[in-house]
Structure 1
Amino acid sequence: MSFLAEREQLATRLGFILVSAGCAVGLGNVWRFPYITGRYGGAIFVLFYVIFLMVMGLPIMVCEYSMGRASRRNLAGAMLTLEPAGTKWHIYGYVGVLGNLILMMFYTTVSGWGMAYIYYSAAGRLSGLTPQEVGAFFNSFISNVPEVTIWMALTVVLGFMVCSIGLQAGVERASKVLMSGLFLLLIVLIVRSVTLPGAEKGLAFYLKPDFSKLNWEAVYAAMSQAFFSLSLGIGSMTIFGSYLSKDRALMGESIYVIFFGALSALMSGLV
């Protein structure tokens, strides 16, 4: 009980929303959503995506938040604490923790790529290269195992440093800065993208509904994208819910997080 009483909480509502949105907003929104939208009919795919966000994503997010807040623990601890007597839900909790560890192997590697690209761009290594030359540079970079490992290790160290500072001073503050920077960057890139020659064709491809591509595969893709882009089902939102105070409405917090996730996806499509 003393552990639960001393557990740190996020300082502000905005901090909680941005921390949760920071987990939800990732490759699923920035990378996967734009191309899959174009592949499955543009605006008609977006419509089904939004429907699945509200019909399936919202209730599942509320459930994950409620589990975290009720138990004040991570997914494994929540399952162990809340499971009915005689049931084995805690086994899924351990599987979820293992899944998160495997997922972090992927994200820390890709984040290392991102930091490497920032460095090489600032050093001028990518300036003046054709798309083919950039592709060759990338293939050469990822085949250099020692270098990729160093950038991945740097990502892990930075993550540990932020977490070691604390929930409010570290994670919450970093999320506010990084999420604000992300949306500012997206706005700048959108302005640049829509003012390029031929941008109207790209906008039509992205936003004009193409009903000929509407099939069950497109509907399934919209449903899976809704789960992927909100990081649902792996316990991430359970962890954030464990830091949520009792005076916050779970439905309201979930709607805000889903809004920011969907907004980032739509903005990335414009880019």
Structure 2
Amino acid sequence: MSSLANALLFQMAFNTDIALVPQKELDAISRSSRISRMRRNRPSEIDPPRRTYNEDLIHHYLMAVSTDNPFVEYLSHYHVLEHFYEAVFQDDLITSIQQQITDPAFSYRRKKDIKGLIKTIHKSLKIQNDTITFSEEQALLLTLRSFVEVTDLLDDLDNYDPSLVDYYRDNKVAFANAPEIDLRYSENAAIYKSLSKRIYATRNALVHSKDGEKAKYTPFVDNHLLAKELPLLRFVAERTILRNSSMIE
């Protein structure tokens, strides 16, 4: 879009409070129909609920499904995963510490062993502005490992659009410099690592927009590329919601 066109769009929005934006991409229009074809979309075919779900997760999920904006949809699905970051990270760190202190070779009397324990904790946590934090990317990786089966994700993607798995294998997310991911032929450990990097790099490009930043999302310009990432994250979020549901007894 030319600078003159952008100037006109801004001036119209500034003065009239009306945003004239490009029309939706064709792939955005088709997403709903693809989902409908792979699900039971007739009310008569939908059974009463047999499970209950986390209320916070459902709110984020409904926000994602209700919007036509790929930016909002992506971040809403991401928030489903983000909900678990602190819990899964703490559980993983606790397990790691328990394994070390219960190892028969560990002794609390040996400084070397205590230093090793401190090193484990130090590697996992970091201090920023007097606040103890953890790596969100690592927490995302742990969340994916905990709640998403690669075979289920593959089935979802193949049912939605069989070409997507090859697309993710052959294409980075250009505006985010997010890596390719081979979902079909890689080992699970490599898949989870690539999947977490792709999702997290895309998320960062959406929320960070510093001038000069190499990886950042430009609204409307990058919508087509972002739309390609929505099925992947949607199915990851759905699998996470389902894994954290409870049967109605």
Going by fraction, where is helix more abundant, 1 or 2? 1
TM-score (norm. length: structure 1): 0.25
Greater fraction strand: 2
User: TM-score when scaled to structure 2?
Assistant: 0.27
